[in-house]
Structure 1
């Protein structure tokens, strides 16, 4: 299987972003970008991606879709929403992190992550550094946010973290961001990053892609 065939098979089988799975229609506007930040916070602990997505959906259903709503919510209400998604091991600490993160976003960037991007002059490394100022978000979390946000922030492209690059190598694909990005249109890079992550989590082998 050639590289282009492998990428096409990956996108067909696994090419749904985690934002999309969490019900986030990602746009370069404050509310969906904040919901992606919430999903990133939820994903930044040792917990399954499915549970993180379910928790993001539950928080959204509870009306916690903006930093103002999150900051104004009761801590117990956040814990309860996480519990409904069975996100129970880290529910209390994550509820605290979400509240503090919302306060930081409101105080420093007026609730708008585009201001964070502008403060960084669109530089991917600086964006990642600023994201790491949010509670719970470390290098892995910053990578999660950037690989999803590249769908609407072109300055982040190509954004592939260590896990996606290892997955690419395991599937016989180029394992540097620029060579990997050359295999698909720019608008599909976020989907490719998600597909590689999903392939890694499911331990998919190259031959299994064509079989699917």
Structure 2
């Protein structure tokens, strides 16, 4: 996507090598432009946007999917208690009851309005990222943070929304001396998949001074 300075390339290589796994991949989601993985990403975005660790959110997503709730119909048809139990197995306990209710209502909304297919939402928004975010925020538990999480991961398979590098991503970039503006930072990536990996890596760095120091040392 563009030329990089020698130091930027060294930072990128170290960053992607150590932290360049998307949260979708960590959750076992084989992301593609298909209804099931797109729904699973929506569930993950909701779990990640709560004030809880990313590790617990990922674990909870895995438990929900393993229990058969990785489709809108599966989530809707599960009992409220079954969803609570799955969240509990992932140690997502502080918000489990409220989250179970929101997951059920969100699945119903997706089925009723979008026929279970988030591609319909994207098409209704004509691929515009701001409109997509607005429509995503109609789902229970998805606010601006959740919409950002969904968009920065889905850009790997929805080229219409790329680049999506939100404030948390740009904050991480600043800690590593990388560009803090969306377009210049995006030019360091070679594909939309790499953009999604870069976003996830920089979110991790934004949360940890130790991680930022580690990357800078490795890039020297």
TM-score, normalised with respect to structure 2: 0.93
Runs (4+) off by over 6 Å:
none
The two structures, once aligned, show a CA RMSD in angstroms of: 1.2
Deviation per CA, 1:38-78: give whole Å up to 9, x if none. Answer: 10111121000000000000001100010011111100000
**Which of residues 176, 181, 195 is equivalent to 1:176?**
181
CA distance in structure 1 between the aligned counterparts of 2:20 and 2:201, rounded to whole angstroms: 5
Contact 2:110–2:116 (CA<8 Å) still a contact in 1? yes
Q: What residue in structure 2 maps to residue 192 of structure 1?
A: 198
User: What pairs with 1:32-47 in structure 2 (closer than 5 Å)?
Assistant: 32-47=37-52
**Which blocks of at least 5 consecutive residues in structure 1 are unaligned?**
none
Q: What residue in structure 2 maps to residue 20 of structure 1?
A: 25
CA distance in structure 1 between the aligned counterparts of 2:30 and 2:14, rounded to whole angstroms: 24
**Which blocks of at least 5 consecutive residues in structure 2 are unaligned?**
1-5
User: What pairs with 1:1-212 in structure 2 (closer than 5 Å)?
Assistant: 2-186=7-191, 187-204=193-210, 207-209=213-215, 211-212=217-218
**Counterpart of 2:209 in 1: which secondary structure?**
coil
Contact 1:171–1:205 (CA<8 Å) still a contact in 2? no
Count of equivalent residues? 212
Deviation at 1:205, TM superposition (A): 5.9
TM-score, normalised with respect to structure 1: 0.97
**Pair 53,189 (structure 1): closer, same or farther in 2 beyond 3 Å:** same
Contact 1:172–1:206 (CA<8 Å) still a contact in 2? no
Deviation at 1:9, TM superposition (A): 1.1
